[in-house]
């Protein structure tokens, strides 16, 4: 048997000094904790139609239009749903000058169950509609799996 260390009783096992590793990791953790941002910021995507391209098959897809009035009332109208050419209207009156979100949410929540092919929505705010209300109604549509959302700019601005 050949041995390179004949006669030596050296201990071949050794332990790494882990204290510097811990120092480095502690510094990393402190840095990351101090620079971490705990608020989750995202975006609400909106695709605006430019011009008026006719649909490919000559038939408009079913859509819902949310017309938000200055007094806080919301008129929701369904268009091109099934064979019904006439828009189906649903009015939500304002509650104390503000939008009655419970009724709007209840109605929007039933849309996807009743009309699964509904993927298009248009929001038509008024000049005095709050920006957060516009985002909130868009959020409701998104939650109801209505993905193609557009916003109508004000006329005459």
Partner 1 sequence: MYSSSLKQTSIQSPLSQMAIVRPKAASTKRTLVSSLMLTSLVDAFSILVIFLLMNTKSGIEQVELKKINQLPHATAMDTVTKGIVLRIEDNKYFVDEVQVSEATLAQKLEEAKTKFEAGTINGLKASVIVQADKKLDYEAVSPILRAGAAAGLNQFKFAVVEKSN
10 Å CB burial of residue 76 (0-12, 13-18, 19+) is buried
Least separation in angstroms between CB 82 and partner 1 = 26
Nearest Cα residue to 75 out of 84, 88, 62, 61: 88
CA distance 60 to 79: 9
Coil, strand or helix at 88 = strand
Six-digit token string for 85 = 């050419």
- The partner residues of 84 in beta bridges, in order of sequence, read 81
Q: Which helix (H) or strand (E) holds 122?
A: strand 120-124
Sites for partner 1 among residues 8-37 (CB under 8 A): 10-11, 13-15, 17-19, 21-22, 25-26, 28-29, 32-33, 36-37
Query: Could you say which residues in the range 87-146 bind partner 1, by CB under 8 A?
Result: 125-132, 134-136, 138-139, 142-143
Shortest CB 105 distance to partner 1, Å: 12
Q: Binding segment for partner 1 among 53-61, 86-94, 98-106, 148-156 (CB under 8 A)?
A: 148-156
Closest CB to partner 1 among 6 and 132?
132
Choose, by CB under 8 A, the member of 43, 56, 83, 113 that binds partner 1: 43
Task: Give the interface segment with partner 1, choosing from 44-52, 74-82, 93-101, 104-112 (CB under 8 A).
Answer: 44-52
Count of CB atoms situated within 10 Å of the CB of 79: 17
Q: Considering the complex, what minimum distance in angstroms separates the CB of residue 36 from partner 1?
A: 6
Crossing angle between the packed helical segments 131-143 and 101-114, to the nearest 10 degrees = 30
Where do contacts with partner 1 occur on this chain (CB under 8 A)?
Answer: 10-11, 13-15, 17-19, 21-22, 25-26, 28-29, 32-33, 36-37, 39-50, 125-132, 134-136, 138-139, 142-143, 151, 153-154, 157
């Amino acid at each position: 048997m050949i041995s390179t260390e004949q006669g030596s009783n050296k201990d071949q096992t050794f332990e790494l000094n882990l204290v510097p590793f811990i120092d480095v990791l502690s510094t990393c953790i402190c840095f990351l904790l101090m620079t971490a941002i705990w608020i989750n910021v995202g975006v609400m995507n909106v695709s605006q139609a430019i011009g008026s391209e006719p649909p490919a098959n000559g038939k408009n897809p079913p859509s819902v239009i949310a017309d938000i009035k200055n007094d806080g009332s919301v008129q929701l109208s369904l268009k091109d749903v099934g064979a019904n050419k006439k828009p189906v209207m649903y009015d939500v009156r304002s509650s104390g000058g503000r939008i009655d979100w419970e009724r709007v949410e209840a109605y929007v929540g039933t849309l996807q169950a009743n009309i699964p092919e509904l993927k298009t929505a248009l929001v038509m705010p008024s000049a005095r509609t709050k920006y957060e209300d516009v985002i909130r109604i868009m959020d409701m549509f998104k939650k109801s799996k209505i993905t193609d959302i557009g916003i109508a700019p004000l006329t005459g601005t």
